[in-house]
Amino acid sequence: MITISNEYLTATFSEIGAELKSLKYDDKEYIWYGDPAFWTGSSPVLFPICSGLKDDEFIYQGKTYSLQKHGFARRSEWAVEFAEGNTATFLLSSGNCPHDNFPFEYEFRITYTLIGKKVVVEYNIKNLTDGDMYFSVGAHEAYNCPEGIENYEIIFDKKENLDAYQLVGPLLSYDTVNYGKDIATLQLDHSLFSNDCLIFKNLNSRGVTLRNKITDQKIKIDFEGFPYLLIWTAPNAPFICIEPWCGITDSIDTNKQLSQKEGIEKIEKGGSFYRMHCFEII
């Protein structure tokens, strides 16, 4: 385990997955602790796909490759490049984590920085392939809701028509369910997740706030540059995942071609990709 801290926060990470396992402020835990009775994750990093592929496979340049849901980064051991004071940087690369089912060479660095009561998460991906690289990347932070999620609400930065795209099995349909028109607040309840998760595209908001209605404690999540936002919890679990994604699950009519996949990111030869999101206790 790797630990960093500042005057307010203490954050602990696992080298497996470069995963944030604990975030404490005033001795209170804000990240889900991975109780296997509900879900063993805490804050997995999704790469090189977000969610699932039809039949767990994709096609690139005529060859079929197999990848499990959310990709392999969350199960891989990352190298610790730096961990001191309020900052930690982890590295996953095709050199230290070769993978037969991902036909690209890359370096993927995640840097976590504690600034006041804020955690800044930076993704830096460099394409080392002799050609284009296709991938998805996403966050999956699970926030503790010890009073039960029904005592929490999500407040969007702007008013939204909350049309959530629906899954058919593991695949994304074109159907939506509306959870409110011209509203900024979504009251959480386990009934919202009867079809697994809420999937939002093209939101006006670039941030949301998770508010505890009992204590008025808030966590502000910002996700500029992430076109998709997912909200999920396990059945009856006391946590909520708020997940900014650059990528999305396969659609019901996918042709499995990676380069044509909805939401896929591309880095040209010699290029790089950068995204940042953050969450702050307020």
pLDDT in tens, 78-110: 999 999 999 999 999 998 877 789 999 999 999
Which residues touch 103 (CB under 8 Å, ≥6 apart)?
60, 61, 63, 65
73 within 8 A of 17, measured Cβ to Cβ: yes
Strand runs labelled E in 169-217: 171-178, 183-187, 197-201, 207-212
Q: Which domains does the chain have, with CATH numbers?
A: 2-281 (2.70.98.10)
Class of residue 166 by CB neighbours under 10 A (exposed 0-12, middle 13-18, buried 19+): middle
Residue 95 is predicted with a pLDDT of 84
Residue 212 has pLDDT above 90, yes or no: yes
Distance (Å, whole) CA 75 – CA 73: 5
Distance (Å) of CA 22 to CA 5, 128, 140, 154, 248: 11, 33, 14, 22, 26
Q: Maximum distance among all alpha carbons in the chain?
A: 55
pLDDT classification of 170: cutoffs 50, 70, 90? very high
pLDDT in tens, 226-270: 999 999 999 999 999 999 999 999 999 999 999 999 999 999 999
pTM: predicted TM-score of the whole model, two decimal places: 0.96
Residue 32 is predicted with a pLDDT of 98
Query: How many Å separate Cα 153 from the centre of its chain?
Result: 19
Q: What is the mean pLDDT of residues 181-190?
A: 97
34 by DSSP, 3-state: which?
coil
pLDDT in tens, 22-73: 999 999 999 999 999 999 999 999 999 999 999 999 999 999 999 999 999 9
Q: Answer left, alpha or beta for residue 81, where phi above 0 means left and psi between -120 and 50 means alpha.
A: alpha
